[in-house]
Amino acid sequence: MRQTLGVLGFVICVNMTANSMAAPAADAGEQDFAKGESLLKHKQYAEARATLEAGLIKNSSHVQAHFNLAEACRGLAAWDCAEEHYETALHLDAKSRITGTREPRLSKMKVWQSLEEVTAWRLLEEAKGLLAGGQAQPGKMKQAEEALDGAHELGLNNEQQAVYQQLQAKFPGRRSTTSPDSLKPDGSAGEAFPTDPRDVPMALVPAGEFTMGSTLKTDEKPVHRVYLDAFSMDKYHVTVGQYAKYLEATGTEAPPEWEIMNEPRHQKRPVVNVSWSDAATYCKWAGKRLPTEAEW
C-alpha cells in the first residue's frame, strides 16, 4: 500500500495534531447506524436522518455514520446539514489516518465532490431566497451576486447550471465575475494560473532561527533551536492540471481515484492521494525538491 503524503494527501505536507478524546464503546450506536444505512439505501431519507442522528448522540466519532447522515440530508435537500456532516466525516477520517484507528476509509474525492455539490446548491438557494419577489434591496442583490459567484466557482452540474442561468437573468447585462480559467488554486478569483510547474510563483522565506520540537510527544523531543538558510517555496499546492503534465511526460502511474480527480472542473484544485516517493519525483522533475520538515 502506498504511503500518502500529509493528512489529506496534498503534495505540500501539512502538520496536524490529533486531539485526544475518550473513545466511545465500540458498539455504541451500531444498531442505529446499521438501520440508518439500510433506510438510506431504500431512499427513506427522513427516517434515515432521524435514526443516524440518534446513533451519533451515542457515538459522535463514527466516520461512516456522518457520511451517511450527509447523504440522507442531501436527499432531503437539507444543504446545511449535508455540508456539516460531509466536513465532519472528512475531519474524522483524516484523524483516524493519523492515529491509526481502524475505521472504514472514505473515498476522499467522492466526499469532496459531494461537499462541493451541496455547497453549490446551498449558495444557489441562498441567492434564490435573496432575489425572491424581484424587489430585493441593493444589499441583498450584492449578497445574491456573491452567492452566485461562489456557486459558479465550485463548478455546476447540468441541473445547477440551469438554476444558475435563471438567477443570472435577474441581473440584466451581468456576466459572472469569475470563471474556472481565472481561478487560483485556492478557488479565489485572479489571473490565469500557470499550468507549467516551472512557471509557478514562489515565495522567498528569509533565513532565520526558530524553536522546533515538543516536550509533549516522544517522537518530537527534544525542543531545540534550528537555523535555516533562505529558500523559496511554491505559493500554492501542486494542482491536478500540473500533476497531469508530469504523469503524461514521465508515464508514472496515476494516484488512486485519478479518474474523478482529473475532471475538467478540478484542474486547478490540489492533487491528492500522492505517495511520498511520487511527490519527491514530481518535485525533481519540476527542477525543485520537497521541503524538509524544518522548512515546512
* 3-state secondary structure at position 278: helix
What domains, with CATH codes, occur in the chain?
Answer: 30-106 (1.25.40.10), 116-177 (no CATH), 197-285 (no CATH)
Total residue count of the chain as it appears in this document = 296
pLDDT, residue 130, reads 82
Closest CA to 71 of 120, 29, 20, 110: 110
- Its pTM stands at 0.53
> Tens digit of pLDDT for each residue in 206-241?
888 888 887 776 777 788 888 888 888 888 888 899
Cell 517522537 locates to 219
Cα within 13 Å of Cα(176), Cβ side: 22
- Window from 160-169, 181-190, 253-262 with minimum mean pLDDT: 181-190
pLDDT, residue 181, reads 43
How far CA 101 is from CA of 26, 242, 272, in Å, comes to: 12, 33, 21
Q: Could you tell me if 286 and 22 are in contact, meaning their C-beta atoms sit under 8 angstroms apart?
A: no
Q: Show Cβ contacts of residue 165 under 8 Å, excluding neighbours closer than 6 positions.
A: none
Q: What residues does 205 pair with on adjacent strands? A: 231
Cell 481515484 locates to 257
